[in-house]
Chains A and B, each alone.
Chain A
Amino acid sequence: MTQRYVMSIDQGTTSTRCMLFDQGARLVSVAQREQQQYFPQPGWVEQDAVEIWRNVDRIVPRALADAGIAAEQVMALGIANQRETTVVWDRRTGTPVGRAIVWQDVRTEELVREFERKPDAGTVRERCGLPLATYFAAPRLRWLLDTVPGLRERAERGDVLFGTMETWLIWNLTGGADGGVHVTDVTNASRTLLMNIATLSWDDELLSFFDIPKRMLPEIQPSTADFGRTKRVVPGLRIAAALGDQHAALFGQTCFARGETKCTYGTGSFLLMNTGRDLVQSTHGLLTTIGYQLGGEPAVYALEGPIAVTGSLVQWFRDSLGLIGSAPEIETLAKTVDDNGGCYIVPAFSGLFAPHWHSEARGLIVGLTSYITKGHLARAVLEATGWQTREVVDAMNADSGLEASTLRVDGGMTADHLLMQFIADVLDVPVMRPIVAETVSLGAAYAAGLGVGFWPDLEGLRRNWHLAARWLPKLDATRRAEEYANWRRAVELTFGWAQPRQPV
């Protein structure tokens, strides 16, 4: 019998990856290409959507060729993507109206302040589950409509389309200007500030609050649905699932039961807890979001604590400071010293996300003395990820009333043992990594495979989860408390740094 596989495309913040999994959920092939990031002004982060599309065009055939797999053996394709990154393109030519504005971009800070002053600003959160912040898509879309000449008229005429990256890729894969399907899924739509979190449809009040023409928005589908077949790249693949990357990771970690929690360590880090059919409104700075929605079933909700800068702090250390040659070398450098030497780095590059939500905060390095070496800085870089996790876990425990007894982790940074040990130390709970650390890709594959019957049910997927590594807490309580207190003082120093430009 011919072997059958499921393909996933993970369109992430730094790269796009194509992976193939067999029925045992084992990785068979992977192909990857990084995309360029553009930083045209402080706080601005852009990517070229066309470059991302070309990368998909290259890696999908390569992933198949590397494993000697024919397109006919691929039962389904699932797409996971960086969320909130916003692109608008011409429906007749397929050409974007400008570069995609990435989720880390904070150009809409002043715009968001204006929205906050509107009398009905208080209703936004209860309608969509999210605070007003630069992080989400709607202010970016509004910024484009306000600044690109003629764009609003083209949007109202229906000439241009809005999408996050899964929408852009599905539209292109299913034919582009020649009949491409313009769709999104509930998890991605839940990150726009435009979808009603209870009805799972575009909310007319929110559309009018942000002044966005409905015609340019994609159709909202469940996470597993019939998204059509590919007509380009490798024709004939059945697109059966789309999810935001963090929702895919929740799915890939098989957090199917209420209370199950995971944290994915990548460019940013994202802690999500499945809250089942209950829509929980946070009182501690977390987001209400959709965990996933399987076709034809009610949505599963989640609480989320997003941390904007974790892995990207290591990249900054590598690319902007040049202190290491590759990201994993941060561990080697950090191990040249025994502790942080009293130095802390708070990477508020895009303001601070959960649980603080201070858009105006900016990053700092504090505790510098002539004693500090690059080894101490490397430690402070890694520790920043650990402490930010601690803050979000504290908020999650407070909101849910449950004490997390372990933390399931995944993502590229789980290869860093120093960091994983530090996270176990600061949380004072065991940290567990499953055997497939690439849970974003795996989750997209799971959802797609489930959608076409390649895997029978959630219980079957759960049996694939196995422990690959576990780190146990070792730090003594006094030291942990002292260090946490230092971290919190450092965080407070970042607040209020960026000031709105004063009129002359």
Chain B
Amino acid sequence: MPGPVQAIERAAAILRLLARGSGRLGVGEIAASLDLAKGTAHGILRTLHGVGFVEQDTATGKYQLGAALLHLGTSYLDVNELRSRATNWADALAARSGEAVRIGTPLEGNVLVVHHVFRPDDTLQTLDVGSLLPLHATALGKVLLAYDTDLAASAQQADLPSLTRRTIVNSSALSRALAQVREHGWAADAEEYMPGEAGIAAPIRSYGGLVVGAIGITGAVERLCDGRLRPRPELVTHVRSAARAVSRDLGAGR
């Protein structure tokens, strides 16, 4: 078994140091306190800065703990908890829209379906909780990509497989689509995943506005969209208000 990694031990010591006292220290003070060469301390601080664990005051040049570190412990949301907290609003969305509802979170380059409510017409349907959907070709996936830079970057580096003749397969077209999602606050797909089917989705946010999942409806394209494949505004409104209601329950906006 490999031994401890010295650089990580030193980074941890720097974070502990910053967590004490006034919490604002210059690189010289940090190097002196931990008996490190100034260059070594500086290198570690730049790396921590890069991942958002420390911030640097532009006026004094001093370092302090970063916001990303403070959210580290609270950003995790168990998917079963997400389902449990969202159930009421997912039900209400299915009842209002008349369509099937799904909630998705990212998993290994896909959308993991964590919740599914049947289309409320009592036809034969099968639960698909636990199944995976493509990020780039579904409304749920586009929402997840739009609010997660790392996820979007890795999705765009990978191949964008064509699933229908409307699937976005070009990475700059996907970038434009994601910018639109951020601008409007919701995403749609019209026959991009399955011929004849469309989807509308919006982000679920947790504390501090962090996007933890997406909620959306899917159904026949002629029910969800108008003749020019534009999503019907009243359905978009239902999806967005359900997303907001779940987010409120999860503590977004507090």
Query: Contact at B96–A26, with CB atoms within 8 Å?
Result: yes
CB of A435 within 8 Å of the partner chain:
yes
Bound state CA distance, A472 and B50, in angstroms? 50
Contact with A along B70-114 (1 / 0, CB 8 A): 000000001111011101110110111000000000000000000
Contact A471 B127 (CB under 8 A): yes
How big is the A interface, by class?
20 to 34
Chain A stretch 410-448: residues in CB contact (< 8 A) with chain B = 412, 414-417, 435-438
Complex alpha-carbon distance, A66 and B89, angstroms:
14
In the complex, what distance in Å separates the CA atom of A417 from the CA atom of B79?
12
CA separation between A466 and B85, bound complex, in Å?
A: 21
List 18 interface pairs A-B (beta carbons < 8 Å), by A numbering: A26-B96, A27-B92, A66-B248, A326-B78, A327-B84, A329-B80, A331-B80, A415-B84, A435-B95, A437-B87, A437-B88, A467-B120, A467-B122, A468-B94, A468-B117, A468-B120, A469-B127, A471-B127
Output the least CB separation between B97 and chain A (Å): 11
Which residue on chain A has the smallest CB distance to residue B77?
A326
B interface residue numbers (CB < 8 A to A): 78-81, 83-85, 87-89, 91-92, 94-96, 116-118, 120-122, 125, 127, 129-130, 248
Residue of A nearest to B129 (CB): A417
A266 to chain B: closest CB distance in Å?
Answer: 13
Given A326-B78, A330-B80, A467-B120, 15 other A-B contacts at CB below 8 A?
Answer: A24-B95, A26-B96, A66-B248, A327-B84, A328-B84, A332-B78, A412-B84, A414-B87, A416-B80, A435-B91, A435-B95, A466-B95, A468-B94, A469-B116, A470-B118
Which of A28, A328, A467 meets B78, CB within 8 Å?
A: A328
**A412 — nearest CB in chain B belongs to which residue?**
B84
Q: Is A212 an interface residue (CB 8 A)?
A: no
- A30 interface residue per 8 A CB criterion: yes
Cβ-neighbour of A415 out of B87, B94, B95, B122 (below 8 A): B87
Chain A 19-33 per-residue mask, 1 if CB under 8 angstroms from chain B, else 0 = 000001111101000
- Knowing A328-B81, A416-B80, the reply to whether A466 touches B127 (Cβ < 8 A) is no
Whole-angstrom distance between the alpha carbons of A25 and B95 in the complex?
A: 9
Smallest Cβ distance from A21 to chain B, in angstroms? 10
Select which of A24, A26, A466 is within 8 A of B122 by beta carbon.
A466
Nearest B residue to A470, CB-CB: B127
Contact A435 B117 (CB under 8 A): yes
A466 contacts B88, C-beta separation under 8 Å: no
Which B residues are CB-close (under 8 A) to A327? 84
Expressed in whole angstroms, the Cα–Cα distance for A444 and B144 within the complex equals 38
A325 to B116, CA, bound (A): 24
Residues of B near A26 (CB, < 8 A) are 92, 95-96
Given the contacts A435-B120, A467-B122, A326 and B95 also touching, CB distance less than 8 Å: no
Task: Report the minimum CB–CB distance from B123 to chain A (whole Å).
Answer: 9
- With known contacts A327-B84, A331-B80, A437-B87, A469–B92 Cβ distance under 8 A: no
The residues of A that contact B127 with a CB separation of less than 8 Å are 417, 469-471
Chain A minimum-CB-distance residue to B87:
A415
Min CB distance B3 to A, Å, is 28
Q: What CA separation (Å) do A417 and B115 show in the bound complex? A: 9
Tell me how far the C-beta of B233 lies from the nearest C-beta in chain A, rounded to whole angstroms.
19
Given contacts A327-B84, A435-B120, contact A332 B79 (CB under 8 A): yes
**What 8 A-B pairs have minimum CB-CB distances, sorted nearest first?**
A466-B120, A328-B84, A328-B80, A415-B84, A328-B81, A331-B80, A27-B92, A26-B95
Q: What distance in Å separates the Cβ of B222 from its nearest Cβ neighbour in chain A?
A: 21
Contacting residues, chain B, for A416 (C-beta < 8 A): 80, 84
| CB neighbours of A326 from chain B (8 A) | 78, 81
Q: A468 and B83 in contact (CB under 8 A), knowing A26-B95, A27-B91?
A: no
Cα separation A27 to B249 with both chains bound (whole Å): 14
CB of A30 within 8 A of CB of B120, answer no
Give the residue name and chain of the A residue nearest to B98 (CB).
A466
User: Which residues of chain B are within 8 angstroms of A415 by Cβ–Cβ distance?
Assistant: 80, 83-84, 87
Q: How far is the CA of A332 from the CA of B116 in the complex (A)?
A: 17
Question: What's the Cα separation between A28 and B121 when bound, in Å?
Answer: 21
Give residues of chain A (25-75) contacting chain B, Cβ–Cβ below 8 Å: 25-28, 30, 66
Q: How far is the CB of B22 from chain A (nearest CB, A)?
A: 32
For the complex, what is the distance from the CA of A484 to the CA of B11, rounded to whole Å?
54
The interface residues of chain B lying within 8 Å CB-to-CB of A27 are 88-89, 91-92
Docked pose: A354 CA to B130 CA in angstroms: 34
Cα distance A25–B94 when bound, in Å? 12
Question: In whole angstroms, what is the CA distance A481 to B51 when docked?
Answer: 54
Within 8 A of B (CB), among A307-351: 325-332
